[in-house]
């Protein structure tokens, strides 16, 4: 029996495992590189390490804390066969499959050959376009590139190899045919030491960005009985081929009725909560039980109802999903009707060292339509302030007609992204901006030490409106308002009037419909929560700092990150599209290229330097290229 378990991970997955340990009476050990991480306080004891990738330090931490088992979570060392072997050699219990199974499935090239021998269909070829470049040693979208024409192949291979090497320590990549209209469907399995395999159910994970899932559902909807049975049969065959023990997932592409093996993840997956929701199983508890020697029963419970999970990321969908950093000022999702697995809270600092995922929100209903409605309502009421996230995108996905109807494939997001990040949100932002302007004006007047009795919108030229300009995303809103008879009025938004401003509460009337907004004045703007969601509004200064003017041809950092490569020198001539600098943040790499032909007039970065979004990295002079 396991008495004390160390989780070799952080964030929401460490917290998730700790919850099961508490229910099972198992003491917990956290490892951390930053003491402020939430999982540190949730554990019974904690040990500092330099890196979550340093297996020797983690094993030493387990011994120091008196742990007798290690759970790797997902990511980091969870699919590292050498680490698993070292854990066992150190006399500790490994919560996971046999290291040989990890090794066999960890190399995707080897894994495809192995499962093909067990009768599982695989994708073959990869010589014609479009094709997909994939990392042999890892997943999660790292090291993956879609190539549509031969001219782009060499640069895509170079970028994929570099990203794979950085993420997994192995730059080996391979190619396979790209099927953009296929669905991504996966099968959850559990195996015990006796060789019994449970096929626990399936999930659809087709809605993806950068080949990484953001929406997952169980069971996979709209499959024929024959296709579902084939998926389960192939998953069982793949698991039996390596005598699999513990929790694992076999992933497939489903193209009509055709099925192709993608990979096997020899660990717990991010999306495991949807399977737990429909089966009632605790997959972490089963991982621990199997590691202790418990055998599976005859069959797992049949799924009940439908569950959907969305991943909340610190990223900007309007800027190619660039990672975002900052301090979380507010974080709240109602948990009475949904499950929230979060790795942050108000006050948390989000940096560039780790994955951009902040939380997972999961809804379970009697059917798919009910689950969508519950989850959409939870996201609409959800509050997060302090950094840009994909929350608005997630809301839009759940409202989309194609998604609601189940017409999904792995390229759906790419086709619909422009609509999902634009769409009908402008009016909602405008009302939030109006609430921010009048709420801030009254709050400033009340708290001011001078002229505190003067109405908030008072001006010595009464015919002119007072104006506050806010930026939300890339759009700016110049809100006009004035004071008349002690009341705040605004004609800026036709049909919308200000009914009341009391403390942080602003009440608007939108064509006869009363709406209440909570306005929290923060440094540089306001956080607004209203009936259509939450918004971070940055106030635009009235006077522009002359120092903010940038030289023509300035190449700016599109995201905060670490400079991992510089491809040019000052004075070098470049062509449009030539790579200049490569940034890395949250396990993803981004290459910044020359926007036009020119000469590198100045270069202000070097490998190893950390940069902030908006920093000038280089200046490409067009005049000197003539």
pLDDT band, very low/low/confident/very high, at 382 (cuts 50, 70, 90):
very high
pLDDT in tens, 228-238: 999 999 999 99
pLDDT at 361: 98
**Lowest mean per-residue pLDDT among 326-335, 389-398, 403-412, 459-468:** 459-468
pLDDT band, very low/low/confident/very high, at 548 (cuts 50, 70, 90):
low
| Mean pLDDT in residue range 359-374 | 98
| Mean pLDDT in residue range 417-421 | 92
**Lowest mean per-residue pLDDT among 81-90, 184-193, 454-463, 593-602:** 454-463
pLDDT at 445: 76
Answer whether residue 22 shows pLDDT above 50. Answer: yes
Please answer whether residues 574 and 600 qualify as being in contact, where contact means their C-beta atoms are separated by less than 8 angstroms: yes
pLDDT at 370: 98
pLDDT at 113: 95
Beta-carbon count within 10 A of 90 CB: 15
Distance CA 267, CA 77 (A): 10
Q: What is the mean pLDDT of the chain?
A: 92
Angstrom CA distances, 9 to 14, 20, 419, 499, 584, stand at: 6, 15, 36, 50, 21
pLDDT at 440: 94
Closest residue by Cα to residue 203 from 222, 230, 224, 185: 185
Q: Which residue has the higher pLDDT, 360 or 613?
A: 360
- Angle, alpha carbons 275-281-287 (nearest 5°): 95
pLDDT in tens, 467-518: 999 999 878 999 999 988 778 899 999 999 999 999 999 999 999 999 999 9
Element (H, E) at 515: strand 513-522
| Mean pLDDT in residue range 32-43 | 96
Beta-carbon count within 10 A of 111 CB: 24
CATH of domain 124-178: 3.30.1490.20
Answer whether residue 450 shows pLDDT above 60. Answer: no
In CATH, the architecture of 426-539 is 2-Layer Sandwich (3.30)
Q: Which residue has the higher pLDDT, 464 or 514?
A: 514
Answer whether residue 459 shows pLDDT above 60. Answer: no
Half-sphere exposure of 401 (CA within 13 A, CB side): 1
Fold of 180-421: D-amino Acid Aminotransferase; Chain A, domain 1 (3.30.470)
Please answer whether residues 492 and 480 qualify as being in contact, where contact means their C-beta atoms are separated by less than 8 angstroms: yes
pLDDT band, very low/low/confident/very high, at 452 (cuts 50, 70, 90):
very low
Answer whether residue 91 shows pLDDT above 80. Answer: yes
For the full predicted model, state whether its pTM sits above 0.75: yes
Q: Where are the domains of the chain?
A: 4-95, 124-178, 180-421, 426-539, 546-625
Q: In what order do the strands lie in the sheet with 598-603?
A: 554-556, 616-621, 598-603, 573-574
Residues with Cβ within 8 Å of 605's Cβ and at least 6 positions away in sequence, in order, are 563, 566, 581, 611, 617, 618
| Mean pLDDT in residue range 310-323 | 94
Answer whether residue 451 shows pLDDT above 90. Answer: no
Coil, helix or strand for 350? strand
Element (H, E) at 413: helix 412-421
pLDDT band, very low/low/confident/very high, at 422 (cuts 50, 70, 90):
confident
Please answer whether residues 399 and 344 qualify as being in contact, where contact means their C-beta atoms are separated by less than 8 angstroms: no
Distance CA 147, CA 344 (A): 36
pLDDT band, very low/low/confident/very high, at 52 (cuts 50, 70, 90):
very high
pLDDT at 480: 95
The reply to whether CATH 1.10.569.10 applies to domain 4-95 is no
Beta-carbon count within 10 A of 117 CB: 10
pLDDT at 623: 61
Cα-Cα end-to-end distance for the chain:
75
| Mean pLDDT in residue range 102-115 | 94
- How far is it between the farthest Cα atoms of the chain? 85
pLDDT at 544: 56
Of the candidate CATH numbers 2.40.50.140, 3.30.1120.10, 3.20.20.70, 2.40.50.100, the domain formed by 546-625 belongs to 2.40.50.100
Answer whether residue 424 shows pLDDT above 80. Answer: no
pLDDT at 553: 85
Answer whether residue 283 shows pLDDT above 90. Answer: yes
């Amino acid at each position: 029996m396991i008495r004390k378990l160390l989780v070799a991970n952080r964030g929401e997955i460490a917290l998730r495992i700790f919850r099961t340990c508490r229910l099972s009476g198992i003491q917990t050990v956290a490892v951390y590189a930053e003491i402020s991480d939430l999982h540190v306080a949730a554990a019974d004891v904690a040990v500092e390490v330099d890196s979550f990738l340093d297996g020797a330090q983690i094993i030493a931490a387990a011994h120091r804390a008196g742990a007798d088992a290690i759970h790797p979570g997902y990511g980091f060392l969870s699919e590292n066969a050498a680490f698993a072997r070292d854990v066992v050699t150190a006399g500790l219990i490994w919560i996971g499959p046999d290291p040989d199974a990890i090794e066999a499935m960890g190399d995707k090239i080897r894994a495809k050959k192995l499962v093909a021998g067990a009768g599982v269909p695989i994708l073959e070829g990869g010589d014609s376009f479009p094709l997909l470049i994939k990392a042999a040693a890892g997943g999660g979208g790292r090291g993956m590139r879609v190539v549509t024409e031969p001219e782009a192949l060499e640069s895509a291979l170079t970028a994929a190899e570099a990203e794979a090497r950085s993420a997994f320590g192995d730059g080996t990549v391979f190619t396979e045919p790209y099927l953009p209209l296929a669905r991504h469907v996966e099968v959850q399995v559990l195996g015990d030491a006796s060789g019994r395999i449970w096929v626990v159910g399936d999930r659809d994970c087709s809605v993806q960005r950068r080949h990484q899932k953001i929406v997952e559902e169980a069971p996979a909807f709209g499959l024929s009985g024959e296709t579902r049975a084939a998926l389960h049969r192939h998953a069982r065959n793949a698991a039996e081929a390596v005598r699999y023990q513990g929790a694992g997932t076999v992933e497939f592409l489903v193209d009509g009725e055709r099925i192709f093996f993608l990979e096997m993840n020899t660990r717990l997956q991010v999306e495991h909560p949807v399977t737990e929701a429909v089966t009632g199983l605790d997959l972490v508890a089963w991982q621990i039980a199997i590691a202790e020697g418990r055998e599976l029963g005859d069959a797992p419970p049949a799924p009940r109802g439908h569950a959907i999970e969305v991943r909340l990321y610190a990223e900007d969908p309007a800027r190619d999903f660039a990672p975002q950093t900052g301090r979380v000022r507010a974080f709240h999702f109602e948990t009475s009707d949904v499950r929230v697995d979060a790795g942050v809270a108000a006050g948390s600092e989000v940096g560039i060292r780790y994955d951009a995922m902040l939380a997972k929100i999961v809804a379970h209903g009697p059917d798919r339509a009910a689950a969508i409605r519950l989850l959409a309502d939870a996201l609409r009421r959800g509050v997060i302030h302090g950094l840009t996230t994909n929350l608005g995108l997630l809301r839009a996905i759940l409202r989309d007609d194609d998604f609601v109807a189940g017409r999904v494939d792995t390229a759906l997001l790419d086709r619909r992204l422009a609509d999902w990040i634009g769409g009908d949100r402008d009016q909602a932002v405008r009302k939030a901006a109006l609430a921010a302007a009048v709420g801030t004006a009254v709050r400033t007047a009340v708290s001011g030490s001078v002229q505190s009795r003067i109405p908030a919108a008072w001006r010595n030229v009464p015919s002119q409106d007072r104006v506050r300009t806010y930026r939300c995303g890339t759009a700016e809103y110049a809100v006009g308002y004035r004071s008349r008879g002690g009341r705040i009025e605004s004609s800026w938004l036709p049909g919308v009037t200000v009914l009341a401003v009391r403390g942080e509460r602003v009440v608007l009337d939108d064509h006869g419909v009363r709406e209440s907004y909570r306005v929290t004045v923060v440094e540089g703007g306001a956080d607004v929560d209203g009936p259509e969601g939450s918004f971070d509004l940055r106030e635009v200064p009235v006077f522009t700092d002359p120092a903010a003017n940038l030289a023509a041809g300035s190449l700016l950092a599109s995201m905060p990150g670490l400079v991992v490569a510089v491809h040019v020198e000052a004075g070098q001539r470049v062509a449009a599209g030539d790579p200049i600098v490569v940034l890395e943040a949250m396990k993803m790499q981004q290459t910044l290229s020359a926007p036009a032909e020119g000469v590198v007039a100045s270069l202000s970065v070097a490998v190893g330097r950390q940069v902030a979004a908006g920093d000038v990295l280089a200046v490409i002079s067009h005049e000197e290229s003539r």
